[in-house]
Amino acid sequence: MAGHFEPLPGGGAAVALDEVEISILRSLAVQLLELIGPGETHGPEAADPLARLFAEGPSEPPADPALARLFPDAYGTPGAEQDRQERAYASEFRRYTENDLRERKREDALGVVRSLDALGGGSDAGAGDAVLRLTPEGCKQWLGALNDLRLTIGARLEITDEDDGEALFRLPDEDPRKPMVMAYLWLGGLQETLVEALMAG
């Protein structure tokens, strides 16, 4: 089980994580939360669900490449290649959907942090390992957060297609991007085994 998810009887999945892995995952999830930004905690929308429903979000894509990867345009190709009509559709779609999307991504990342914090110092998988057991709902949150983390790291590494990724995987150890590439690969492995565990469950 160490290093990869396995299905649990009755649904969900489990993975054994050591202290370093827990620390890295928690740190990455917290950084993702900081990147996404805080939720609506004040103003009329905070107390009124109907006002929240009709609250308008931004109409332009984020300037940060990582956020632009997390919140892409819904229509056409972003940038100069979009025609005026596509830009208008994308702007309108973003205005009414981005706040909800941000909230979902925030909840996914928070779910990761909370589940890791709940592990405490427990060790039932061997020396230094703790077993993280996720419900089906927890698995959905982890899948969402793992995907968002990989998109974010991929944007920071400027990975735009598989060829870019393959070249980065052969970086020499002294390259300053190497730790980020290793995190990108590791998160991809976790994501893949979680999907497999859910399909097998």
Predicted confidence (pLDDT) at residue 76 exceeds the cutoff of 60: no
**131 neighbors 15 (Cβ within 8 angstroms):** yes
**DSSP code of residue 157:** T
- What's the average model confidence in pLDDT over 5-30? 94
Q: How far apart are CA 87 and CA 105, in angstroms?
A: 24
In this prediction, residue 122 carries a pLDDT of 45
Chain-centroid distance of CA 81 in Å reads 28
In this predicted model, which residue has the larger pLDDT, 131 or 83?
A: 131
- What's the average model confidence in pLDDT over 13-17? 95
Q: Residue 11 corresponds to which amino acid?
A: G
In this prediction, residue 91 carries a pLDDT of 77
pLDDT band, residue 82 (cuts 50/70/90): low
Q: How far apart are CA 85 and CA 94, in angstroms?
A: 14
* pTM of the predicted protein model: 0.81
The first and second tokens of residue 164, run together, are 């870019």
The widest CA-to-CA distance across the chain, in whole angstroms, is 60
Nearest to 88 by CA among 75, 101, 79: 75
Backbone φ and ψ for 66, nearest 5 degrees, come out as: -70, -45
Q: How far is CA 127 from CA 16, 118, 124, 159, in A?
A: 11, 18, 8, 36
Highest mean pLDDT among 31-40, 94-103, 144-153: 144-153
pLDDT band, residue 51 (cuts 50/70/90): low
In this prediction, residue 83 carries a pLDDT of 73
Q: How far apart are CA 45 and CA 47, in angstroms?
A: 6
Q: How far apart are CA 141 and CA 77, in angstroms?
A: 28
In this predicted model, which residue has the larger pLDDT, 48 or 68?
A: 68
